[in-house]
A and B are shown apart, each in its own frame.
Chain A
Amino acid sequence: MNAASATVFAAVLALAAFAVWRTLKKGAPCECGCSRKTCPGKCPSCTGCNGR
């Protein structure tokens, strides 16, 4: 594997690892549509924005 390939390969793995880490830490992005700035981004805590 040449230098370019190795770099790209490492970059992809690093990005993927980052994505997994962020999801584990912050939870899945919440598609509940909250307009409040603090929809915590962690789906399980998002309450469905009943109080919109």
Chain B
Amino acid sequence: MTAIAAATVASTLAACGGGDDGSSSSAEGGGENEASDIGVTEDSIKLGAHYPLTGVAAPGYSEIPTGVQAYFDCLNKEGGVYGRDIEFIFKDDAYNPSQTSQVTNELVLEEEIFAMMSGLGTPTHSAVVDFLNDEGVPDLFVSSGSLLWGENPEEYPMSFGWQTDYLSEGKIIGEYIANEFPDAKVGLFLQDDDFGQDGEEGIRQYLDDQIVAAERYVPGNTNVGPQIAALQAAGADFVVGFNVPSYTALSQLTALQLGYDPQWFYSNVGSDPNLVGGLLNRFSEGKVSDAALLDGALTTGYLPTVDMTDNPWIQEFSRIWDECGGEGELSNYRVYGMSQAYTMTQALQAAGQNPTREGLVEAVEAVGAEWEGPVFAPFRYSEDSHLGTSGMTIERIVGNGSEEVQPVRTTDIGDAPIEEFDKEPATPPANGIPDEEAYEG
């Protein structure tokens, strides 16, 4: 009885933000579940997220929360985390920052979520990152490769990235091209924002002297003729695109019109063959029916994709989708959502039986770098970095799938070297549910 009372006091202190890490003591076997912080009850934990479910950005991205939901549904059937069900609430922001701000207010102030997870988009999430950190809400695994969430934990102590940041991706691409295509004249096709800038900075670290042109497009302007023509005129025979999927389709169609046929390399964001194939079909009004144009293009990967049917993670996620998912097929976006939900489950397990917001963030910082999962390479979480995974493969697109041409290599931002990653890929645990120990502090 006194032990429980003491634990309650400790967790109340921690909940107030000023407490030490006393709450994790109650995580030792046999303790009872308590409502240890906002959004946590004896039998549930509330998580929230924002995605574009309507509007121009909805195709593809709106599938991510269905993947997250399916994973949590299956997890809850197996007993959840410490006997608590995960309640996942996601809201539509239509990729509009003012709406992101509104729905985040709703999630934090009205729904009283324990933590935000997987909030999608750089401009959208920028609008709420200050608010979440001011309110002390853990802001885990933002669905964007911007450096903003992870580069400077002192500024945003509650925010964590998840996917490979665009700078590291650029470095890995740059090194690959410098090694494998030393004579290529490289042209860059970049989205004119941090996405393109970070990617360019990374690439230029390795093949600055091979680059003959760097062309930028402004999202929203659908005519990329001038940029593609400029790349052609500069004599580029190898084009690297840091662009979103719709501009992959536009650049392909424009190059087709201009009779321009370089080796293409699209960064991970813009390379989903299914989505690009659909877009090509739509933009060309049926003249190009699938992603055949993309055949032979190179891209990067940090997660298994649905075409890898013999990958054990994909098999496990297929099972989860069949048992707990809704309509439709398992897609790469759903795999992405499930993988994030998997990491989130690891984080909640590590936060202990009676998690607090502070405790959750401390646990991710302390042990997050050791977690294994569907992501190819480990996360970089520590007290000094909240950046997500850093490793990527290089893949060649074949049909609607891809084949690996370079195994996983890892790096970090700044002038960190690129290293081979030689660990065996992790295999999924039973039922696809991780089993992390509680972090004791």
The answer to whether A and B belong to the same complex is no
